[in-house]
Structure 1
Amino acid sequence: MTASVRDVAEAAGVSVGTVSNVLNAPDKVSEATAQRVHAAIERLGFVRNDAARQLRAGRSRAIGMVVLDLRNPFFTDVARGAEDRAAERGLSVFLANSDERAEREQSALELFEQQRVSGVLVTPIAEDLPVLRRMRDRGTPVVLVDRESQQSHFPSVAVDDVEGGRMAAEHLLAIGRRKLGLVGGPTTLRQVTDRLDGAQQAVAAVADATLEFIGTAALTVDEGRAAGRRIAQRAPAQRPDAIFAANDLVALGLLQGFVMAGAVRVPDDIALIGYDDIDFAAAAVVPLSSVRQPARLIGSTAVDLLSAASDGGAAREQVLFRPELVVRASTVSV
């Protein structure tokens, strides 16, 4: 039979309330009493019924987190940053992958609400956020991650993707390239449209420069590889002389497509820059230039914002980090 709180109290010679304080508010109990209670817990093999505690308290000590694509190391690093900061606060993180699909995103959010998580971190797919507004209005704090909040409806933490797109395009223009291409998609993702906007701004400032948008169905290596093959099949005069990939996975796929086609040299024929600066970028067969995002800092800051929102402070704070250009051999021969 599983030991109960009452069994622990009897074994330790204290009240049930004292056992509860040891478990939930240890600062209210003397060190000697706490040691007796922990010894009884160890001896009896007591395991706290956290589900029952959640029902009484109304919230769990877990955070729900929904990201766009767990195959992307950028989101893995964001989640790691959130987990580390949550652990410091005595919280755990339940992680879900929307796979850039609205129905999966909604299912995960509904499940988190049913589990009475203490708050939700989410990188949403769409601009319209009725599910998140309903969750917030019912008392579950929400923080947007890797996405700014339109009209500041939610606290958010992100990187300035417009600036990042401008930074990538300006680098390609500075090394003398004029026929730029941006490869990525879908354009329903705010990250893609913001990076495209920044690149367009940079190109518009240079009279003889052009920018071609080459759409993909997803921000994956497979989609990048397919785009790379299509570009390599063009006549040399019809190809871009530089490509800004909307993320590093697409850039790595493009690089693979060019190598497999055997018709395009990077950076001689086409300079290539990605976005995120995941670990694989530096280890690519041609080390990949990229726009770096502070992934773990984004995750840890999101947890801080969620805690502030839970405590009733800074409910709509917007944190926007500046990206950093990292130049490697895919754009500049070294």
Structure 2
Amino acid sequence: MAVSVRDVAARAGVSVGTVSNVLNRPDRVAASTVERVVAAIEELGFVRNDAARQLRAGHSRSIGLAVLDIGNPFFTDMARGAEDRARESGLSVLLANSDQDEQRETAHLDLFAEQRVFGILITPVGNTPRRLESLRAHGTPTVLVDQRADSDKFSSVAVDDVAGGYLAVRHLLDLGRRRIAFVGGPTRLRQVAERLEGARAAVAETAGATLEVLAREAPTVLQGRAAGEEIRERPASRRPDAVFAANDLLAMGVLQAFSMLGSVRVPDDIALIGYDDIDFAQSSVVPMSSIRQPSHAIGHTAVDLLIRENADGESFAPEQIVFQPELIVRDSTVGAAG
């Protein structure tokens, strides 16, 4: 049988109200009494049930975080940034993986609502879900992460992905590459669509440059390898001379396909650049150039916004914070001697 507050009070020889004060407002209780109550808690193995306290407060001390793919180190780093900031304020993070599935995303949002979370951080699968609008209208602060908000109803923390796509392809063009291939997808993911938009803008301003789009079903290593194999099997005259992958996982797959038979040399035959600058990018067999996003700072900043919205209530004005991406140049575009 679970130990109750009444059991603790009886063992310590105090009232139930005193035990409650020790748990919630220990500064109002004499030190000797606190010691007796704590000793009784330890002897009985009492574990507090926060359900009633959450009902009184209107929310828990947990933040719901839903990401597109927890297998992607970018989202892992972002979650760590959120957790680090949450911990500073006595909050915890409940991490959910939508796996780019809108139904799973909705199920996670419903669960967060049932848990009366302190707030929600989410990288939506597509456009901002209506469920989010309902949750926010009923008092649950919400911040979009790694995606800019569609309107001024929500705060968001993101990176300028159009600028990032432009940076990546501009780098390839400045190296003299002219036949660029973009490996990415699905384009219903706004991040992918915006990186492609930036790539097209760079190509459009360069005479003689072309952009081929190799659409992928998902931004994974396996999908990147399939794209790389498709390129590798072409005659050399029909291959691109540079590849921009929509994230580093895709770029790693492309590099694996090129390296397997040794028939395509990176960067001599084909220069390769990814996006996110995850740790694996610099430690791959050919260190990969990439577009760096401040993943930890994105998570950290998003929690800051949640805390401010919770504190300000209806007077809070949503903010859209946009970080600028950074070009990181390594051997996969300029070679070891570059």
TM range (shorter): over 0.9
1:86 CA drift (Å): 1.4
Residue 86 of structure 1 aligns with which residue? 86
- The DSSP-based 3-state class of the residue aligned with 2:94 is strand
Cα deviation 1:1-38 (Å, max 9, x = unaligned): 43322332344444433322332234444555433332
**2:128·2:149 contact (CA, 8 Å) conserved in 1?**
no
**1:308·1:315 contact (CA, 8 Å) conserved in 2?**
no
Number of residue pairs aligned between Structure 1 and Structure 2 = 334
Residue 321 of structure 1 aligns with which residue? 323
Residue 224 of structure 1 aligns with which residue? 224
**1:276·1:290 contact (CA, 8 Å) conserved in 2?**
yes
**1:78·1:295 contact (CA, 8 Å) conserved in 2?**
yes
Residue 251 of structure 1 aligns with which residue? 251
Partners of 1:111 and 1:298 in 2: CA distance:
24
Change beyond 3 A, Cα 1:29–1:150: farther
1:262 CA drift (Å): 3.2
Instruction: Give the root-mean-square deviation of aligned CA atoms.
Output: 1.7
Residue 233 of structure 2 aligns with which residue? 233
Amino acid at match of 1:140: T
Residue 143 of structure 2 aligns with which residue? 143
Partners of 2:18 and 2:179 in 1: CA distance:
72
Residue 102 of structure 2 aligns with which residue? 102
Partners of 2:222 and 2:271 in 1: CA distance:
20
Residue 179 of structure 1 aligns with which residue? 179
Amino acid at match of 1:329: D
Residue in structure 1 matching 2:332, options 324, 330, 333 = 330
Partners of 2:12 and 2:327 in 1: CA distance:
60
Q: Does 1:153 align with 2:153?
A: yes
Partners of 2:27 and 2:185 in 1: CA distance:
52
Partners of 1:21 and 1:270 in 2: CA distance:
68
- The DSSP-based 3-state class of the residue aligned with 2:213 is strand
Q: Does 1:199 align with 2:195?
A: no
1:310 CA drift (Å): 1.2
**1:8·1:46 contact (CA, 8 Å) conserved in 2?**
yes
Range 22-31 or range 286-295, more displaced:
22-31
Residue 290 of structure 2 aligns with which residue? 290
Cα deviation 1:87-140 (Å, max 9, x = unaligned): 221111111111111111111111111121111111001114211101111221
Matches within 5 A, 1:106-121: 106-121=106-121
1:297 CA drift (Å): 1.2
Partners of 2:181 and 2:211 in 1: CA distance:
5
**2:141·2:310 contact (CA, 8 Å) conserved in 1?**
yes
Instruction: Tell me the TM-score normalised to structure 2 length.
Output: 0.94
Partners of 2:84 and 2:26 in 1: CA distance:
23
Partners of 1:13 and 1:162 in 2: CA distance:
66
**1:232·1:261 contact (CA, 8 Å) conserved in 2?**
no
Partners of 2:299 and 2:258 in 1: CA distance:
34
1:176 CA drift (Å): 1.3
- The DSSP-based 3-state class of the residue aligned with 1:151 is coil
Amino acid at match of 2:117: V
**2:128·2:150 contact (CA, 8 Å) conserved in 1?**
no
Partners of 1:128 and 1:77 in 2: CA distance:
23
1:40 CA drift (Å): 2.4
Instruction: Tell me the TM-score normalised to structure 1 length.
Output: 0.95
Partners of 2:261 and 2:190 in 1: CA distance:
31
1:182 CA drift (Å): 1.1
- Structure 1 unpaired stretches of 5+: none
1:54 CA drift (Å): 2.1
**2:168·2:291 contact (CA, 8 Å) conserved in 1?**
yes
Change beyond 3 A, Cα 1:154–1:25: farther
Partners of 1:13 and 1:321 in 2: CA distance:
57
Change beyond 3 A, Cα 1:33–1:298: farther
Residue 127 of structure 1 aligns with which residue? 127
Partners of 1:24 and 1:319 in 2: CA distance:
36
Partners of 1:78 and 1:35 in 2: CA distance:
40
Residue 73 of structure 1 aligns with which residue? 73
- Structure 2 unpaired stretches of 5+: none
Identity of aligned residues (%): 63
1:287 CA drift (Å): 0.7
Range 64-73 or range 128-137, more displaced:
128-137
Partners of 1:68 and 1:31 in 2: CA distance:
48
Amino acid at match of 1:150: D
- The DSSP-based 3-state class of the residue aligned with 1:177 is coil
- The DSSP-based 3-state class of the residue aligned with 2:151 is helix
